[in-house]
Amino acid sequence: MQAEPKKSQAESRAGGQPAPQAVSLVGEEYEVEVGPVAHGGHCIARTSEGQVLFVRHTLPGERVVARVTEGEEGARFLRADAVEILDPSKDRIEAPCPFAGPGRCGGCDWQHAKPGAQRRLKGEVVAEQLQRLAGLTPEEAGWDGTVMPAEGDKLPAGQVPSWRTRVQYAVDADGRAGLRRHRSHEVEPIDHCMIAAEGVSELGIEARDWPGMASIEAIAATGSQDRQVILTPRPGARLPIVELDRPVSVMRIGEKDGGVHRVHGRPFVRERADDRTYRVGSGGFWQVHPKAADTLVTAVMQGLLPRKGDMALDLYCGVGLFAGALADRVGDQGAVLGIESGKRAVEDARHNLAAFDRVRIEQGKVESVLPRTGIDEVDLIVLDPPRAGAGRKTVQHLASLGARRIAYVACDPAALARDLGYFRGGGYRVRMLRVFDLFPMTHHLECIAILEPAAKGS
């Protein structure tokens, strides 16, 4: 079924002449054959006129009715939801979550896909990004195409791992906690998030009213019983008395400065990884999946194979997870320099690694701080950049340092692929790539690429 788009009657006039206005196609429906998965939690289809549709809530090979949610005539692409499944994929299941589906919660992308199919789809996305942006086949990247689940996450279809140790709840005008709808500020009230970790769910946030609040972040630490909520009030609102089902520390976001301020309890949570405890303050970054930190540290150390006496860099080091692992392994004769832009994260990293005399943490942007250090040679590099990646300039600088091996930890396959292309231009090749499904039910994943000088592999 295909509907003719409605023509807009609205005109704007400039100099007495009518100016054409793009016609919105929101709400139009198209019957389409669904093509391959694309980066971002959707699949690609085309209208009979050839216009590209990015369709959520579908799977490759299905025939569906797609309803446009964003876009207009002449746009490069439209966004749409599959609102009727005419010919389902064998990988389709009934979404376990009652809040998943078109127009509902935007937190999960693949509730309607079997767990194994989710991992295959993610693998296809990584392979496509590598080929398109880096010119690499999986074989050239040292990858067998496998996307590995975290320990304990390999569950039958219809069962959902409860992995999310940090959940950002939005609050609607009536004070009800929920989650944002896809690409929207609208709130989907919920009574339970299936992917929330037990330590978050047991707080009972969804069962309470939150008048005057804009959002609530709930944190359940891994390896300790620390629980924390961070409240963001609406302008002029007073904080409510926080009485939850488990003891928590409470923080608030300042209305004027946007900073995180302690209300009561510890201003940090204690996380555990690689047999070490890390302090993470003020809602600072820590891997969301309870197994992620250990999984990534193990993979990075196995790829780098640190030696006693090595000089190592940990870039975008956060609270010092990889710097601590490196320091343990390079020993007293080695040295580690960490660079991190966040002031509170730097304070935490220095606290967490105070026992290591040969670890130094510098605050600032990597591209600014690293050239000022005067370092012109290192043995090992770990970089875990933000979603946008490290970028050409930083990669070129790192390639000039002659590291024996480089570990690139990436949460976005497109940024990873772009940077791998830059590294190739700097004389490095990918020795090994590993991909982990540390965000089940979503389109997100984590990659670790191990690089070495190309001449070594030739």
Q: What is the mean pLDDT of residues 404-414?
A: 98
The pLDDT of residue 282 is 82
User: Does the annotation mark 411 as catalytic?
Assistant: yes
Residue pLDDT, tens place only, 230-248:
999 999 999 998 999 999 9
Residue pLDDT, tens place only, 20-75:
788 999 999 999 999 999 999 999 999 999 999 999 999 999 999 999 999 999 99
Q: What predicted TM-score, i.e. pTM, was given to this entire model? A: 0.92
The pLDDT of residue 15 is 53
Q: Is 185 exposed, middle or buried (0-12, 13-18, 19+ CB in 10 A)?
A: exposed
Mean pLDDT of the chain: 94
Q: Helix (H, G, I), strand (E, B), or coil: what is residue 372?
A: helix
The pLDDT of residue 443 is 98
Q: What is the mean pLDDT of residues 82-107?
A: 97
Q: How far is Cα 331 from Cα 303, in angstroms, rounded to an integer?
A: 18
Q: 63: how many CB neighbours lie within 10 A of its CB? A: 17
Tell me 205's DSSP state: G
Q: How far is Cα 165 from Cα 167, in angstroms, rounded to an integer?
A: 7
Q: What is the mean pLDDT of residues 272-289?
A: 93
Tell me 206's DSSP state: G
Residue 1: band (very low, low, confident or very high) from pLDDT cuts 50, 70, 90: very low
Q: Over 50: is that where the pLDDT of 3 sits? A: no
Tokens of 115: 């767990």
* Residue whose token pair is 């193990």: 298
Q: Which residues have C-beta within 8 Å of that of residue 309, sequence separation ≥ 6?
A: 330, 331, 333, 334
The pLDDT of residue 340 is 97
Q: Over 80: is that where the pLDDT of 323 sits? A: yes
Residue 7: band (very low, low, confident or very high) from pLDDT cuts 50, 70, 90: very low
Q: Which residues have C-beta within 8 Å of that of residue 333, sequence separation ≥ 6?
A: 308, 309
Query: Long-range CB contacts (< 8 A, 24+ apart) of 403-406?
Result: 403/313, 403/378, 403/379, 404/379, 404/380, 404/452, 404/453, 405/303, 405/304, 405/305, 405/380, 405/381, 405/431, 405/450, 405/451, 405/452, 406/380, 406/381, 406/382, 406/450, 406/451, 406/452
Which H or E element spans position 227?
A: strand 227-233
Q: Helix (H, G, I), strand (E, B), or coil: what is residue 343?
A: helix
The pLDDT of residue 309 is 98
Please give the torsion angle defined by the CA atoms of residues 317, 443, 413 and 410, in that order, rounded to the nearest 10 degrees: 10
Q: Over 50: is that where the pLDDT of 4 sits? A: no
The pLDDT of residue 17 is 61
Which H or E element spans position 419?
A: helix 413-425
| Least confidently predicted of 4-13, 39-48, 226-235, 324-333 | 4-13
Q: By C-alpha distance, which of 265, 159, 261, 250 is closest to 210? A: 250
Task: Name the catalytic one among 43, 97, 317, 411.
Answer: 411
Residues 194, 96: contact at Cβ < 8 Å?
yes
Q: Over 60: is that where the pLDDT of 384 sits? A: yes
Residue pLDDT, tens place only, 66-75:
999 999 999 9
Q: What is the mean pLDDT of residues 222-230?
A: 95
The pLDDT of residue 16 is 54
The pLDDT of residue 18 is 60
Q: Over 80: is that where the pLDDT of 265 sits? A: yes
Q: Over 60: is that where the pLDDT of 276 sits? A: yes
The pLDDT of residue 9 is 38
Q: What percent of the chain has pLDDT over 70?
A: 95
Q: By C-alpha distance, which of 354, 350, 358, 349 is closest to 329? A: 358
The pLDDT of residue 5 is 43
Q: CA-based angle 174:180:185, to the nearest 5?
A: 75
Residues 8-47 as b/e (b if ≥16 CB within 10 A, e otherwise) read: eeeeeeeeeeeeeeeebbeebbbbbebbebbbebbbbbbb
The pLDDT of residue 335 is 98
The pLDDT of residue 78 is 98
Residue pLDDT, tens place only, 122-174:
999 999 999 999 999 999 999 999 999 999 999 998 899 999 999 999 999 99
Q: By C-alpha distance, which of 253, 299, 292 is closest to 273? A: 292
The pLDDT of residue 286 is 96
Query: Long-range CB contacts (< 8 A, 24+ apart) of 243-250?
Result: 243/208, 244/203, 244/204, 244/205, 244/208, 245/202, 245/203, 245/204, 246/199, 246/202, 246/203, 248/203
Q: Helix (H, G, I), strand (E, B), or coil: what is residue 334?
A: coil
Q: How far is Cα 159 from Cα 156, in angstroms, rounded to an integer?
A: 6
Phi, psi values for residue 16, rounded to 5°: 80, -5
Q: What is the mean pLDDT of residues 268-294?
A: 95
The pLDDT of residue 284 is 84
Q: Over 80: is that where the pLDDT of 102 sits? A: yes
Q: Over 90: is that where the pLDDT of 98 sits? A: yes
Q: Amino acid letter at 325?
A: A
By residue count, the chain amounts to 458
